[in-house]
Amino acid sequence: MSEGAIKKFMFVNRKAPYGTIYALESLEVVLITAAFDQDVSLVFMDDGVFQLKKGQQTKGIENKNFSPTYRALDGYDIEKLYVEEEALAARGLSEEDLLVDVTVMPRAELGKLMDEMDVVLSF
């Protein structure tokens, strides 16, 4: 990364938490990226919207519950969280079910946003 140049990074999250490692890996990379003062956006689409569901309790599966960490993103100056409107609807979820403030957006709008990025990373 060349010093001083701020790039637009987008992390696209499409997997449910816990079943695979992707959600947690993405979150860790996001936190690391935050240290480089880049312009970071997070997108949650498809099953990825489940990552933000309130009330996750992981004791029974002996996994770390990393959902509270999404609430720390604000302190890391990561404030651009976008959620696919159609994905929420298809899963019987609404904005009130999510544990952080997000911008709910139709997928066509997300696509336009994606086009504007310098770097898009899939998880």
Partner 1 sequence: MLHIVNKSAAERNALDSCLRVAQGGAILLIEDAVYAATKGNEAESRLRDAQSHLKIYVLAPDLEARGMQDRIMEGVTTVDYGGFVDLVTEHKNCQSWL
Partner 2 sequence: MSTIEVNGKSYETDEEGYLVNLAEWNEEVGSYLATTESVEMTDQHWEVINFLRDYYNEFQIAPAVRVLTKAIGKKLGADKGTSQYLYDLFPYGPAKQACKIAGLPKPTGCV
- Give contact residues for partner 2 (rule: CB under 8 A): 28, 31-32, 34-35, 64-66, 68-69, 71-72, 75-76
46 binds partner 1, rule: CB under 8 A: yes
Asked if 122 is part of the footprint of partner 1 (rule: CB under 8 A), the reply reads yes
Neighbours of 115 (CB within 10 A): 8
**Terminal CA-CA length for the chain:** 21
Q: Could you tell me if 48 and 16 are in contact, meaning their C-beta atoms sit under 8 angstroms apart?
A: yes
Is residue 45 within 8 A of residue 107, CB to CB? The reply is yes
Q: What residue 118 binds from partner 1, partner 2, none (CB within 5 to 8 A, per partner kind)?
A: partner 1
Of the ranges 53-61, 66-74, 90-98, 110-118, which one interacts with partner 1 (CB under 8 A)?
A: 110-118
Give every CB contact of residue 94 below 8 A, 6+ residues apart in sequence: 88
Instruction: Candidates 14, 18, 70, 85: give the one binding partner 1 (CB under 8 A).
Output: 14
When the beta carbons of 77 and 118 are compared against partner 1, the nearer one is: 118
